[in-house]
Amino acid sequence: MWYNTIIGTDISETKKFLEQGEIVGIPTETVYGLAANALNPDAVLKIFLVKNRPHFDPLIVHVSSIHEIDNYTTHISPLAHRLMRAFMPGPLTLLLPKKKIIPDLVTSGLDTVAIRVPNHQLTLELLSQLNFPLAAPSANPFGYISPTNAYHVYDQLHGRIPYILDGGSTEVGLESTIVGFENNEVIIYRLGGLSIDDIEYVTGKVKLQLNTSSNPKSPGMLKSHYAPKKHLIIRQLTELTIDELKTKNAGAILFNQYIQNIPTPNQILLSEKGNIKEAARNLFAAMRQLDNSNVSVIYTIPFPETGLGKAINDRLRRAAVENK
């Protein structure tokens, strides 16, 4: 099926396509999603086909408010409740025991379902007008950089989907933080737009389980993921030797300071002010920009490990893995 893809801001048009079992691009505060009626396996199947996504990689279910979560999970623990009240709507996904109404295709046969309430006004309005939740992964081909505006989605998926709901550039810029529970302990499976510090403030100490094996619990945790096509190299500033840079047509993604020996137009500062949230917001667009430019290699540096810096470094490490 080939579509004349439209980018627009029409909620009723978006709703119409979703009710017909089509898939559409939607904005969230983290990254753009590729959404389908989560209760309709035929519609959900289209997501896997368009993204070229393996079936073992489950999807996140998006709902309009925390009150709706009860419809899809058999149990909400007091800890989960506390997190929901503190951070939803927001960049947090909870893994909860699933009810039968959620198709196995959505959860890849797991007995938990990933649920979140996205904090974006257009999408919250859309969700409140629908009588089903939306399954939505990031709207990029599997393994590539997540889209942070409607044009990123268009560039890669035009012709494959009928509509992209344009909600501007995303506010957070990194995917949601994925949190599960084991024996009353909070486990972080994917670093993301909600920092560990913020979570620990509410729950106390958490455990990190960021899988990098070939059979990950959360495939966003695959060793290579979120990756540009070009070679990305992480180096301490002091390790960047002049010779190395001069022999290559290099580009760079940096925090708040340019470096010498790379042409300034090939360098992108993620936050001139040195604000880590702003850096997170700009990261994926910068990776795309250099991936689509004429540089042959992209250098980057380790970011400060404060706040969202941990998640930025996580994405950079996965983007830097070779043999993708």
Which residues are near ligand TXA by CB under 6 A?
28, 30-31, 33, 57-60, 93, 95, 107, 110, 112-114, 118, 136-138, 175-176, 178, 189, 217-220
CB of 252 to ligand TXA, least distance (A): 26
Nearer to ligand TXA, 262 or 276 (CB): 276
Nearer to Mg ion, 73 or 138 (CB): 138
* Residue 123 binding result from Mg ion, ligand TXA, none, given CB thresholds of 5 to 8 Å by partner type: none
CB of 108 to ligand TXA, least distance (A): 7
* Residue 217 binding result from ligand TXA, Mg ion, none, given CB thresholds of 5 to 8 Å by partner type: ligand TXA
Strands 231-234 and 297-300: parallel
- Positive or negative torsion for Cα 249, 324, 26, 221: negative
* Residue 262 binding result from Mg ion, ligand TXA, none, given CB thresholds of 5 to 8 Å by partner type: none
**Interaction mask 8-47, Mg ion, x per CB under 5 A:** ----------------------------------------
How far apart, in whole angstroms, are the C-alpha atoms of residue 308 and residue 291? 23
User: Is residue 64 involved in binding Mg ion (CB under 5 A)?
Assistant: no
Burial of 206 (C-beta count, 10 Å sphere; 0-12/13-18/19+)? middle
- Tokens 């137009």 locate to 265
CB of 65 to ligand TXA, least distance (A): 16
CB of 226 to Mg ion, least distance (A): 7
Stretch that binds Mg ion, among 49-57, 84-92, 133-141, 204-212 (CB under 5 A): 133-141
Nearer to ligand TXA, 192 or 251 (CB): 192
CB of 220 to Mg ion, least distance (A): 6
Count the residues of the shown chain that bind Mg ion, applying the rule CB under 5 A. 1
Structure tokens that stand for 78 in this block: 């007091």
- Tokens 């993708």 locate to 324
Letter string b/e over residues 167-185, b meaning 16 or more CB atoms within 10 A of that residue's CB: beebbbbbbbbbbbbeeee
Does residue 198 contact residue 298 with C-beta atoms inside 8 Å?
no
User: Is residue 148 involved in binding Mg ion (CB under 5 A)?
Assistant: no
How far apart, in whole angstroms, are the C-alpha atoms of residue 33 and residue 149? 10
CB of 137 to Mg ion, least distance (A): 5
Nearer to ligand TXA, 136 or 283 (CB): 136
How far apart, in whole angstroms, are the C-alpha atoms of residue 234 and residue 299? 6
Nearer to ligand TXA, 179 or 269 (CB): 179
How far apart, in whole angstroms, are the C-alpha atoms of residue 228 and residue 258? 21
Q: At what angle do helices 121-129 and 11-19 cross, to 10 degrees?
A: 50
The residue of the chain with the least Cβ separation from Mg ion equals 138
User: Is residue 138 involved in binding Mg ion (CB under 5 A)?
Assistant: yes
Nearer to Mg ion, 66 or 174 (CB): 174
CB of 62 to ligand TXA, least distance (A): 6
CB of 193 to ligand TXA, least distance (A): 7
Nearer to Mg ion, 138 or 271 (CB): 138
Nearer to Mg ion, 33 or 309 (CB): 33
Long-range CB contacts (< 8 A, 24+ apart) of 234-241? Answer: 234/299, 234/300, 234/301, 234/302, 234/316, 234/317, 234/320, 235/299, 235/300, 235/301, 236/301, 236/302, 237/301, 240/299
